[in-house]
Amino acid sequence: MAKAILVVATHPGIGLTSTVLGLYHALDRKGVKVGFHKPVMQYDVESQDVDHSRAVLLHSSRAVGDDALVIRPEVVQQALDADNLDELMETVIQNFEAAKGDADVVIMEGLLETPNVPYAGECNRQIARALGADVILLSDARVSSVARLENRLDFAANTFGGYDKGHLLGAIVNYADGAGALSRAEIENSKAFNANFKLLGVIGSRPEIAAPRVSDLQQHLGATVLFEGESSTRRILDYVLFARTPANAADFLKPGYCIFQPADRDDALMATTISAKAGNNLACLVLTGPLPASDVVMNLCKPLIEEAKLPVLHLGTSSWEIGKLIEKFNRYIPVDDEQRIRETKEYFADGIKDDWFAGYLSAARSVSLSPAAFRYQIVQRAIAAQKTIVLPEGDEPRTVVAASICAERNMARCVLIAKPESVQAVAAQQGVTLGDNITIIDPAAVREKYVARLVELRKAKGMTEDQAREALEDGVMLGTMMLEAGEVDGLVSGAVHTTANTIRPPLQIIKTAPGASMVSSVFFMCLPDQVLVYGDCAIVPNPTADELAQIAIQSNDSAKAFGIEPRVAMISYSTGSSGSGADVEKVKEATAKVRELRPDILVDGPLQYDAAAVESVGKQKAPNSPVAGQASVFIFPDLNTGNTTYKAVQRSANAISMGPVLQGMRKPVNDLSRGALVEDIVYTIALTAIQAQQQAA
């Protein structure tokens, strides 16, 4: 799996693109398969449709340059206005997966906060969270004190949760050792850096690196070319606007200077061209104003200009306007400036420390799956599975909308059990279209075909045909018989039915999977930064130690099946041996049983919730535990604790809870909360489709 690094500048104008170029090159020359991706386009000041930074980085990398893989800023704004960042982050993940190719590390350029992009900080934070990206901060040595640098880094780090969160790798500091800037020694000795937040590079001040070509300035100004000279190779280090006499002009005629002069000042023109001919390697001469240069003087100067290969331009504007134009000159690196690109990436790569590369690339770190990544993964796997899911509550409005969404996104083929005219009326009322991937089955039209089979399956209970017909009046029972017959691959219900009414028919007809002694459930809790697994919060009221062990094993396997690295915490009111009592002993016994039955499972208990979830608390209360502080699967001692906890977390943390997802069934059946949102139903259908695919494998 590719590592993602997001490079974020603490403020604009400090060489973000150059730094990304340098980091890319530093990894590339170490033999690392490195890629580049810019999740969100950032328009240039001069254009509302061009991202020169992205263009240069794509030009200099092996990245996929498909414009469809970058999100336009107006789309971000729309998502923010609609409070719909979750869906946007799923798109971010989708684009990243398409763009990463075979890279081992993908370098990403973050958004710069500008008056037009005030949401940059939040967007960068969400992107880092969604992709589980490591973050490198870029800051500027041109500050009055080390404390000022530290404050900037602190502020930027807090955007990502502080130095202890958000996978902050460290910082790169640009423009060191220049006039009015901090020295390397001052930066190296800053208290901002430590073992957890490293100084990853110091880039020295070198103005010539950022020097544009004369031809770049000409294009920006829209100036007329009088003499082209070496426009494509000469670079501008500084600008001078003057109309002095030749005797007073010497101090302004320096190598690399762009000279602006009134076109009608013959004496100044002659002084400049003589200086150029004498070997004073000026960048260029720009003649200004509405009055043209004298033909006589230009003819006199022409041989000198041509011999010196001095670029000469004309711009018919005032000195005041020229100042404003220069101020707006964006010094981005043009895509065709191969020399500047080459020198920039080499210089910046040299400034990046490489002693952290090896450890970073080889480190196997625990990655918490973000909610956006989890949802994206579920959708993609459901699309790949192409399963048929029956929805017994076929004319329930949320269910109809969810089926429409699943069909539109090709996540599943949905079968709605209800009178067709009722379903169509609900669809019209909800403003959705029911496409070809949706089948509507009138229960009255098919009920009779399942009577004999139901009688056979329930003959031990003495079921008669009349009783079977009555039982099949229930949509869940009818859907269960379709599942038993293999006509559908899974069943989702519960938007109207209680949990008991949803799972009773499947338990009677489908029964448990081979090797499973019981049915339990988990919720996938989509918290802001990660997805956790809670079990059992819906099915088993007061499990024995053996049953609790089975719940832990089933929940571990469910987590792994859905892409979550399982670290199982057996929850109690006591951590380790700090407490006693029957409830604690049950958890201890269950933990030992899990270790005995499945030594491959990373499990520990009893653990209090805070000791399982919070790293600092885990280190204090259970310092030798492989699970404490980093648990991803939480097994509660009873239904009362589990159900209360999941609802408290769901409501207090505004978390999305997917489930309950049933474990241990021979075929997938899943229950919904009666308060389920359309989104909850969509993802439950997707989870069910994936379960069906896994069971078929």
Average pLDDT over residues 55-73: 78
pLDDT category of residue 174 using cuts at 50, 70 and 90 = very high
Res 464: pLDDT: 92
Q: How many Cβ atoms from other residues are within 10 Å of residue 191's Cβ? A: 8
From CA 19, how far away is CA 124, in angstroms rounded?
A: 17
Residue type present at position 342? R
Token pair, residue 495, equals 């938007």
Res 248: pLDDT: 72
Lowest-confidence segment of 169-173, 335-339, 348-352, 681-685 by average pLDDT = 335-339
Res 324: pLDDT: 80
**For 458-469, b where at least 16 C-beta lie within 10 A, e where not — what string?**
beeeebeeeebe
pLDDT category of residue 56 using cuts at 50, 70 and 90 = confident
From CA 595, how far away is CA 601, in angstroms rounded?
A: 7
For the stretch 602-620, pLDDT in tens is 999 999 999 999 888 998 9
From CA 455, how far away is CA 464, in angstroms rounded?
A: 6
Average pLDDT over residues 210-220: 90
More confident residue, 549 or 43: 549
From CA 481, how far away is CA 488, in angstroms rounded?
A: 9
Please check the confidence at residue 386 and state whether its pLDDT lies above 90. yes
From CA 161, how far away is CA 625, in angstroms rounded?
A: 25
Res 206: pLDDT: 86
Average pLDDT over residues 256-269: 88
For the stretch 15-35, pLDDT in tens is 999 999 999 988 888 888 888
Res 652: pLDDT: 86
More confident residue, 56 or 592: 592
Res 1: pLDDT: 63
In percent, the amount of the chain with pLDDT more than 90 equals 53
Q: Tell me whether the omega of the peptide bond preceding residue 28 falls within 30 degrees of 0, making it cis.
A: no
Token pair, residue 123, equals 């967007």
From CA 353, how far away is CA 100, in angstroms rounded?
A: 24
8 A C-beta contact, residue 681 and residue 398: yes
From CA 253, how far away is CA 240, in angstroms rounded?
A: 9
8 A C-beta contact, residue 459 and residue 434: no
More confident residue, 19 or 161: 19
Average pLDDT over residues 203-220: 89
pLDDT category of residue 337 using cuts at 50, 70 and 90 = confident
Beta bridge partners of 6: 108, 135
Average pLDDT over residues 597-601: 95
Give the closest residue to 168 by CA, choosing from 7, 21, 37: 7
Give the CA dihedral 59, 62, 63, 65, nearest 10 degrees: 50
Please check the confidence at residue 492 and state whether its pLDDT lies above 90. yes
Give the closest residue to 478 by CA, choosing from 442, 521, 425, 519: 442
Please check the confidence at residue 46 and state whether its pLDDT lies above 60. no
From CA 460, how far away is CA 667, in angstroms rounded?
A: 22
Res 165: pLDDT: 67
From CA 533, how far away is CA 631, in angstroms rounded?
A: 9
Please check the confidence at residue 499 and state whether its pLDDT lies above 60. yes
Average pLDDT over residues 58-69: 75
Q: Considering the chain, what is the average pLDDT of its residues?
A: 89
For the stretch 366-380, pLDDT in tens is 556 778 888 888 999
From CA 646, how far away is CA 416, in angstroms rounded?
A: 30
More confident residue, 467 or 674: 467
